[in-house]
C-alpha cells in the first residue's frame, strides 16, 4: 500500500513538473526522500517483530520440554515419596504403605587371652559381627524383615528372612526364618547389648510365629523345624520345636527395653519374661526328643543404672547317671552410668555343668550413642571345661559402628 502511495505521489509530481518549475522539483525530491525513509523504518520494524516471534516460539518449546521432563521424573520417583534417616536410612511412599529401612552393624575387636594351661598368651584382631538389615512395609498391611550377614553365620550372628501381616487387635502372624524368643537377652539386638557378647548367643528357626502385644502384656508362640537337626520342607520328617513366651510390662515403656543401657535421666521401668520350649523328634526320633528348657528373666531400669537377672533350666529325660546333661544357668548383670557418655558394668554367669563361673567387667564409651561405641572388657573364666582346671583371662576392646 505504501508503494502505491509513493507511485501516486510520483505521478502527480511529474504531471505538475512543467508548471511548478525547479522549486517544485526540489519539493518533490524532499517528499520522495521522506517516503523512502518511512518505508525503510516500517520494513525494519516488520523484520524485528518476525525475529521476536521466532524467539518466543523457541522459548515456549524449551519450557514445554523442561516441564515434560519434570513430569517424567516425578512419575518415576512416585508422588510424595519420602527419604531420610529415622532409626536407619529410610525411603517410602508419602502414605507409608510402601517403605524400606536399611540398617547396618560393624563390630571389630582386639582380643588377648591368657590361659593358665597354655604356654603363651594369644592375641589377634577379628571382625566379630558385620551385617546389613532390611525391613519395612508392603501395601500397608504387610511387612518384611531380612538380615544378611557379611561374615560367617553362626549363633552369634545368624541370618533370617521373614514376612508378617497384622491381624488386628494387637495380633500378628509371621512366617519364614526368625529369632527364637528364648530370653530377653536373645531378643535385644546385637548393637544394643551391654557386654561384648550374649552369654548363650541366640537361635533362629524356620516356621511360623503368632504374636500379641498390648500396653502391658506380650505373648509369642513359635513352631519351627526341629532345632536339633530337622531338615527343610518335607525333609524335616515331622520333627519340630515349639516355644511360648509371655512378657509383663510392670512399668515403663516397651521401647526402653530394646536395650540394656539405662542412661541418667531416663525413665524407670520393669519387664518380666518367661519362656518355655520343647522338641518333638518326629518320625526319626531325634536325640533332643525329650529335651525341655524354660527361662525366667527380669529387667530393671532406674534412669542411670540397670539390673538384669536370668535363670535357665535345661532338662533331658533321655540322659541319666554320668551322661546326665541336665543343668541350670544363672546370670546377673548390673550397669551404672558414670556420666560423660561413660558406663561401667559387671556380669556373673554360672553354669551348673561347668563347675565354675565367668565374671565380666567392662566399660562402654558412647561416642555417638549406640551408633558409635567403644567397649573394653576383661573376662575371668574359672570353669573346668577342659578338665585341666586352669583359669582363662581374656581382655578385649571393640569398636562398634551402627546405622
Rounded average pLDDT over 306-324 = 84
CA 248 to chain centre: 27
If one looks up domain 90-402 in CATH, what number appears? 2.40.160.10
- Alpha-carbon Rg for the chain, nearest whole angstrom, is 41
Query: Is the pLDDT confidence value at 203 over 60?
Result: yes
Query: pLDDT value at position 27?
Result: 75
Band of the pLDDT at 155, cuts 50, 70, 90? very low
Instruction: Summarize the confidence of residues 204-211 as an average pLDDT.
Output: 97
Q: What is the pLDDT of residues 102-144, one digit of tens each?
A: 999 999 999 999 988 777 889 999 999 999 999 999 999 999 9
Among 5-9, 242-246, 263-267, 340-344, the range scoring the smallest mean pLDDT is 5-9
Q: Measured on CA atoms in the order 169, 267, 90, 134, is the torsion positive or negative?
A: negative
Task: Report pLDDT for 233.
Answer: 81
Comparing 210-219, 221-230, 280-289, 348-357, the range with the smallest average pLDDT is 280-289
Average pLDDT over residues 250-270: 97
Which pLDDT value is given to residue 334? 99
Q: How far apart are CA 100 and CA 82, in angstroms?
A: 11
Q: Chain-centre distance of CA 122, in angstroms?
A: 36
Q: Identify the CA nearest to 133 among candidates 158, 154, 108.
A: 158
Residue 123 and residue 110 in contact, taking contact as beta carbons nearer than 8 Å: yes
Domain ranges of the chain: 2-76, 90-402
Per DSSP, the three-state class of 238 is coil
Mean pLDDT computed over 235-239: 84
pTM of structure: 0.78
Judge whether residue 226 has pLDDT over 90.
Answer: no
Half-sphere exposure (Cβ direction) of 371: Cα atoms closer than 13 Å: 9
d(CA 299, CA 331): 12
φ/ψ (deg, to 5) at 75: -70, -35
What is the CA angle 108-114-117, rounded to 5?
140
Amino acid at each position: 500500500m505504501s508503494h502505491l502511495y509513493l507511485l501516486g505521489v510520483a505521478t502527480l509530481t511529474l504531471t505538475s513538473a512543467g508548471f511548478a518549475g525547479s522549486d517544485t522539483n526540489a519539493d518533490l525530491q524532499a517528499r520522495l526522500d521522506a517516503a523512502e525513509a518511512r518505508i525503510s523504518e516500517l520494513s525494519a520494524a516488520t523484520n524485528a517483530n518476525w525475529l521476536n516471534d521466532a524467539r518466543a516460539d523457541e522459548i515456549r518449546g524449551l519450557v514445554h520440554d523442561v516441564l515434560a521432563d519434570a513430569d517424567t521424573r516425578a512419575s518415576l520417583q512416585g508422588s510424595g515419596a519420602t527419604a531420610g534417616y529415622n532409626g536407619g536410612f529410610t525411603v517410602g511412599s508419602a502414605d507409608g504403605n510402601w517403605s524400606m529401612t536399611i540398617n547396618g552393624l560393624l563390630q571389630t575387636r582386639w582380643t588377648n587371652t591368657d590361659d593358665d594351661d597354655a604356654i603363651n598368651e594369644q592375641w589377634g584382631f577379628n571382625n566379630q559381627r558385620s551385617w546389613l538389615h532390611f525391613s519395612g512395609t508392603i501395601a500397608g498391611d504387610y511387612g518384611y524383615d531380612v538380615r544378611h550377614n557379611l561374615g560367617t553365620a553362626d549363633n552369634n550372628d545368624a541370618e533370617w528372612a521373614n514376612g508378617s501381616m497384622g491381624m488386628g487387635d494387637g495380633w500378628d502372624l509371621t512366617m519364614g526364618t526368625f529369632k527364637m524368643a528364648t530370653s530377653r537377652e536373645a531378643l535385644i539386638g546385637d548393637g544394643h547389648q551391654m557386654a561384648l557378647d550374649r552369654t548363650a548367643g541366640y537361635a533362629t528357626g524356620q516356621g511360623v510365629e503368632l504374636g500379641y502385644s498390648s500396653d502391658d502384656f506380650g505373648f509369642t508362640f513359635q513352631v519351627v523345624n526341629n532345632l536339633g537337626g530337622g531338615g527343610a520342607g518335607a525333609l524335616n520328617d515331622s520333627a519340630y520345636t515349639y516355644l511360648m513366651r509371655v512378657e509383663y510390662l510392670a512399668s515403663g515403656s516397651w521401647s526402653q527395653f530394646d536395650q540394656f543401657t539405662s542412661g541418667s535421666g531416663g525413665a524407670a521401668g520393669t519387664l518380666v519374661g518367661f519362656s518355655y520350649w520343647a522338641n518333638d523328634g518326629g518320625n526319626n526320633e531325634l536325640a533332643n526328643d525329650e529335651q525341655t528348657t524354660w527361662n525366667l528373666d527380669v529387667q530393671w531400669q532406674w534412669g542411670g543404672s540397670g539390673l538384669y537377672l536370668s535363670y535357665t533350666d535345661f532338662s533331658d529325660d533321655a540322659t541319666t547317671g554320668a551322661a546326665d546333661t541336665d543343668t541350670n544357668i544363672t546370670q546377673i548383670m548390673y550397669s551404672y552410668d558414670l556420666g560423660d557418655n561413660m558406663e561401667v558394668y559387671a556380669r556373673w554367669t554360672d553354669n551348673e555343668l561347668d563347675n565354675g563361673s565367668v565374671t565380666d567387667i567392662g566399660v562402654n564409651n558412647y561416642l555417638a550413642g549406640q551408633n558409635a561405641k567403644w567397649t573394653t572388657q576383661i573376662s575371668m573364666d574359672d570353669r573346668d571345661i577342659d578338665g585341666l582346671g586352669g583359669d582363662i583371662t581374656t581382655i578385649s576392646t571393640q569398636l562398634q559402628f551402627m546405622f
